[in-house]
Chains A and B, each alone.
Chain A
Amino acid sequence: MSTKTDTVAKKGYDVEEIRAQFPILKELVHGKPLVYFDNAATSQKPRRVIKAESAYYATINANVHRGVHTLSTKATEAQEAARETARAQINAKHAHEVIFTSGTTASINLAATSLGQLLLKKGDEVVISGMEHHSNIVPWQLACERHSAVLKVIPITDSGEWDLKQVPFSERTRILAISHVSNTLGTINPVKKLIAQAKKKGIVTVVDGAQAAPHLRIDVQDLGADLYAFSGHKAYGPTGTGVLYGREELLERMPPWQGGGEMIETVTLGKSTWAKLPFKFEAGTPHIAGIIGLGEAIRWMQDYDLGAMAAHERALLEYATKELLAIEGLRIIGTAKEKVGVISFVIDGVHHYDLGTLLDQQGIAVRTGHHCTQPLMDRFGVSGTTRASFACFNTIDEVDALVAGVTKGAKMLR
């Protein structure tokens, strides 16, 4: 037992102190302590984030950018402070390159609709990869349909990585839309390398960073991404919040997605002119409380050091991989060298849905099914997997509980 915990403790990481900040970890499920391994679906929230959101409602609730009154000013300042926090976190050049959305899905729909209108002509091509989440597939299918463009796909290798020898770039490729980290496999993709190739060909690049934001230091300038999307709720922030980063020069050229209040400069019944960035893309009253919570979540991650969290999660991943592989008939889907703390697996003769149910009875929350990546399931010839995904607050003891739970479940089912 001590050797297991030592590998983590050596790095000076106090997981108990971190756990104490997540109120939900004290909950019981079916009378058992909650073991939460569904962080890739949504992470749990530290008390500071919950407090920041409710403090907005309790003390400064007012609409932003609209009133001369004190509360409106305070709310506006708090929201714009969150924008600056998000800018710094991803190293964007300007705060107005950070557009608040309701999440990655909304960010990508904005990107696909607006970029489609700006760039796609009949016969043009959009390249995605075979491991994309449906949120980074369907918006592009819709855009392609609207503009009679064609969707092309980077194939996936047996280890769950892009096959870089078969990237289908052509003269007609206009857009590359790819995930930074796979939600199903955990693979950390070589986005910087592929973006560099795309840039040489004048292709506009869009990155789905939903699974990178909770685990990796993101530097949009270093990556060279034109657009970068992520959700707040997967990175210790509130649900219903997200970001679309965009390079200023590109955002200036992109047409607005949704029309409404906040996003206009002047409106006549004949024609309207658009507000400046980022408001051109933020029609309507934003999720102010959530955005403030998102800012707090980012500050919280900064205080606790994303690098130390990543090292802790890496130790959990290595330990869990080794222990799970010792279970007879268990196969891990996604064996790339570079991974975040996500393990998808299948067991011979055991349906993932049954296993998920039996784990739940033991207080262990995992995700089962296709994880919104049906094309990827087809690629691996499975109908679904069981997925455990780790966060900074998970422990080696919890991994032991998972392994024991899976062993017990599999025994009942076989």
Chain B
Amino acid sequence: MTTTMNIAQAQQEVVEEFALFSDWQDRYEHLIELGKDLPLIAPEHKVDDNLVRGCQSRVWLNAELKNKLVHFTADSDAMITKGIVALLVRVYNDRTPQEILGASTDFIDRIGLREHLSPNRSNGLSAMIDQMKRYALAYSAK
């Protein structure tokens, strides 16, 4: 279970999982599958205020603090984007704000996704991570 791992371990797990794919098609099909398991954002949170700026497709991200842990839900109108959000949620979900703020983000480079993403999309990726960290920062101040 991911929840028993720390962020670094969860990232390592993702890196190993993606290392299994040698061609682009498998990699993207996996990403699309991951998107289907994303904990979906509740309709009342799927609002413009929760749109992540800097993404070409639309991405909604919401965070709530539950038992001192940051709980993320999200959605996107594009499937590959949704897969990427799902990957981030899997790594950062239900962590303390401090752990999220302290985590490195280089695993994105290590899964070889950045080179397969257009600059636009990898900017969107950074925007998503920044947004998650902003939520964590807001909750850590509480």
* B3 contacts partner chain A, Cβ-Cβ < 8 Å: no
A-B contact count (CB 8 A): 38
* B111 contacts partner chain A, Cβ-Cβ < 8 Å: no
Chain B residues, CB < 8 A from A360: 118
B77/A361 in contact, CB under 8 A: no
Chain A residues, CB < 8 A from B56: 353, 368-369
Known contacts A351-B57, A357-B117, A357-B118: A412-B25 contact under CB 8 Å: yes
Chain A stretch 341-385: residues in CB contact (< 8 A) with chain B: 351, 353-354, 357-358, 360-361, 368-369, 383
B117/A412 in contact, CB under 8 A: no
Known contacts A361-B28, A412-B25, A413-B32: A354-B116 contact under CB 8 Å: no
Cα distance A357–B121 when bound, in Å? 9
Cα distance A358–B29 when bound, in Å? 10
B28/A358 in contact, CB under 8 A: yes
Cα distance A412–B78 when bound, in Å? 13
Chain B residues, CB < 8 A from A412: 25, 28-29, 32
* A276 contacts partner chain B, Cβ-Cβ < 8 Å: no
* A122 contacts partner chain B, Cβ-Cβ < 8 Å: no
B116/A361 in contact, CB under 8 A: yes
Cα distance A360–B56 when bound, in Å? 16
Chain B stretch 79-138: residues in CB contact (< 8 A) with chain A: 79-81, 116-118, 121
* A30 contacts partner chain B, Cβ-Cβ < 8 Å: yes
Chain A stretch 309-356: residues in CB contact (< 8 A) with chain B: 351, 353-354
Cα distance A413–B79 when bound, in Å? 7
Chain B residues, CB < 8 A from A413: 32, 79
A353/B81 in contact, CB under 8 A: yes
* Shortest CB distance A413–B (Å): 6
B116/A353 in contact, CB under 8 A: no
Cα distance A360–B118 when bound, in Å? 9
Chain B residues, CB < 8 A from A361: 24-25, 28, 116
Cα distance A357–B25 when bound, in Å? 11
Chain A residues, CB < 8 A from B116: 30, 361
B57/A353 in contact, CB under 8 A: yes
* Shortest CB distance B16–A (Å): 22
Chain A residues, CB < 8 A from B24: 30, 361
Cα distance A369–B118 when bound, in Å? 14
Closest to A362 in B: B24
B80/A353 in contact, CB under 8 A: yes
Chain A residues, CB < 8 A from B78: 351, 353-354
Chain A stretch 268-307: residues in CB contact (< 8 A) with chain B: none
Contact with A along B25-37 (1 / 0, CB 8 A): 1001100100000
Chain A stretch 363-414: residues in CB contact (< 8 A) with chain B: 368-369, 383, 412-413
Most buried by A among B24, B79, B117: B79
* Shortest CB distance B122–A (Å): 11
Chain B residues, CB < 8 A from A358: 28, 80
Closest to A350 in B: B79
Chain A residues, CB < 8 A from B81: 353-354
Cα distance A76–B11 when bound, in Å? 60
B77/A383 in contact, CB under 8 A: yes
* Shortest CB distance A296–B (Å): 30
Cα distance A360–B24 when bound, in Å? 11
Chain A residues, CB < 8 A from B57: 351, 353-354
Chain B residues, CB < 8 A from A383: 77
* Shortest CB distance B54–A (Å): 14
Chain A stretch 129-188: residues in CB contact (< 8 A) with chain B: none
Give the contacting residue for B79; candidates A30, A354, A368, A369; CB below 8 A. Answer: A354
Cα distance A360–B117 when bound, in Å? 9
* Shortest CB distance B142–A (Å): 36
Chain A stretch 4-50: residues in CB contact (< 8 A) with chain B: 30
A357/B80 in contact, CB under 8 A: yes
Closest to B117 in A: A357
Q: List 25 A-B contacts (CB under 8 A).
A: A351-B57, A351-B79, A353-B56, A353-B78, A353-B80, A353-B121, A354-B57, A354-B79, A354-B81, A357-B28, A357-B117, A357-B118, A357-B121, A358-B80, A361-B24, A361-B25, A361-B28, A368-B56, A369-B56, A383-B77, A412-B25, A412-B28, A412-B29, A413-B32, A413-B79
- Given A358-B80, A383-B77, A413-B32; 5 other pairs, CB 8 A cutoff: A351-B77, A354-B79, A357-B80, A361-B24, A412-B32
Q: Lowest 6 A-B CB distances belong to which pairs?
A: A351-B78, A361-B24, A353-B57, A353-B78, A354-B80, A354-B78
